[in-house]
A and B are shown apart, each in its own frame.
Chain A
Amino acid sequence: MMAITIGGIVFQPLEHFFATKITTKAKAPELSAVFSYIMASLSMSVPAICLCCAAANVCFERVLASFLVIEFCVGLSSPIAGILRSKYVPDAYQGAIMNIFRLPLNVVVVSGTHATDVLEQYQVFGIVSGLFLAAAALQATLAMDGEVEKKQVKKD
């Protein structure tokens, strides 16, 4: 819980860093989200690799650290998700759109929970890492869309 809280606290300085050093203020939430999902994906790849290929006792600290990082990412991505939804989804359809996407969300959760019964632990962590990576890739396309649009406006 402390890691989640710290993630929430860190969001604003992180967004400020992206807004001033790397991109515009308008695109900072998208880049922050990409950063958060990539970090989550990397953190989940640690138990996937450790539980697969290394001795259990060697990995204990690394796995513990990776769990803390994923918690940090949960805290970080929580405000970002709210901001991005309010930015892209019209207010009148917020409820409907959110409920529509609860369907794939729950499919992922049920499949993931079922996977814990039938697959090895490292495989499940690998799948979760892949899910975060897919989210990061989709988020990156959203961030790049803005850049492409801006370049087209400049050309015109």
Chain B
Amino acid sequence: MIQRVKCLFLLSLFEMCLTVVVPRLMILVCCLQCSIGNGATAILAGVIAQVLEDSLGHIGPFQGAIALTVFALVLILRWEENYGESKEGDHGTSSVYRQFTDGWKLVANDSKVLRIGLIQALSEGGMYTVSSHVLLLCLCWYPWRLLLNRILPSMPTSIPFLLSFCLNNKVCLHVGPHSLINESSWRCANGMRLLCTYDGHYHRWNCIPTIRTLLCN
């Protein structure tokens, strides 16, 4: 829950700062680079998480996440403050209450803003719904189970490998698609790792039966 609150808070903050810091003409380039960087970072995060896990144990990826968060904090400290004022220095009229009441009025009066908001709610809602559903389908649907049973028990657990099965960077926890450092795939892999059991006899990790018992029954 703390993670979810933190993500929503940071998402709002990132997007507000994006519109203030980045000139309007550069928003396209910036959004584009964020989208590409987001995917590339998530793949890299999976690999780094595996390396940290190998060297520091199960808690390694979490310690790495702390280090990354501190690094992000250092970067954020250099940003200029965004009070949400319509004119520079107009802090007095930009209280949270005022912004929300004015925001509601704007939504009520401008159908384009209403439609943009609804489009965002419908499309992102659909994406998050399908993400959680894809995980269930991956683990419970018969053809996927055949594939997973065939490959996974014969291999040691590998975070990038599990990630490829997630098929989606948001399958485990609902995290917005706009976060600059995409931690959801990281957490997805670690969430799966927590559900795996180590089979000492065959010296291998066994994940799927445990997860399937939890989700499919």
- Chain A residues with a Cβ under 8 A of chain B: 1-2, 4-5, 7-9, 11-12, 33, 37, 40, 44, 47, 51, 56-57, 59-60, 63, 67-68, 70-71, 74-75, 77-86, 88-102, 104-109, 112-113, 115-116, 121, 124-125, 127-128, 131-132, 134-135, 138-139, 141-142, 145
Contact = CB atoms under 8 A, between A and B. Distances in A.
Contacts of B113: 88-89, 97
Binding site secondary structure of chain A: helix
B124 interface: yes
Given A67-B134, A86-B27, A91-B20, A142 B126 contact: no
A22 B169 CA distance: 33
A11 B35 contact: yes
A132 B38 contact: no
B125 A108 contact: yes
Closest 10 CB pairs of A and B: A108-B125, A112-B129, A5-B39, A96-B103, A8-B35, A101-B117, A79-B31, A82-B31, A131-B126, A104-B121
Nearest to A33: B119
A112 B128 contact: yes
A116 B128 CA distance: 12
The bracket for how many chain B residues form the interface is 35 or more
Binding site secondary structure of chain B: helix
Given A56-B143, A85-B19, A93-B84, 14 more contacts: A12-B32, A67-B167, A78-B34, A88-B113, A95-B15, A96-B103, A99-B103, A101-B118, A108-B129, A109-B128, A112-B126, A121-B136, A128-B129, A131-B129
A116 B215 CA distance: 11
Contact of B125 (A68, A92, A131): A131
A97 B115 CA distance: 12
B174 A109 contact: yes
B161 interface: no
Nearest to A37: B123
A141 B114 CA distance: 12
B50 interface: no
B162 interface: no
Contacts of B30: 82
Interface of B: 8, 12, 15-16, 18-20, 24, 27-28, 30-32, 34-36, 38-40, 42-43, 84-86, 94, 99-100, 102-104, 106-107, 112-113, 115-130, 132-134, 136-137, 141-144, 163, 167-169, 174, 177-178, 185
A128 B27 CA distance: 29
Contacts of A68: 167
B39 A4 contact: yes
30 contacts: A4-B169, A8-B32, A9-B36, A37-B123, A47-B137, A51-B141, A60-B143, A79-B28, A79-B34, A81-B119, A82-B31, A83-B28, A92-B85, A92-B94, A92-B99, A93-B84, A94-B15, A94-B16, A96-B99, A97-B103, A100-B100, A108-B121, A108-B128, A108-B129, A112-B128, A112-B133, A132-B122, A132-B123, A139-B115, A139-B119
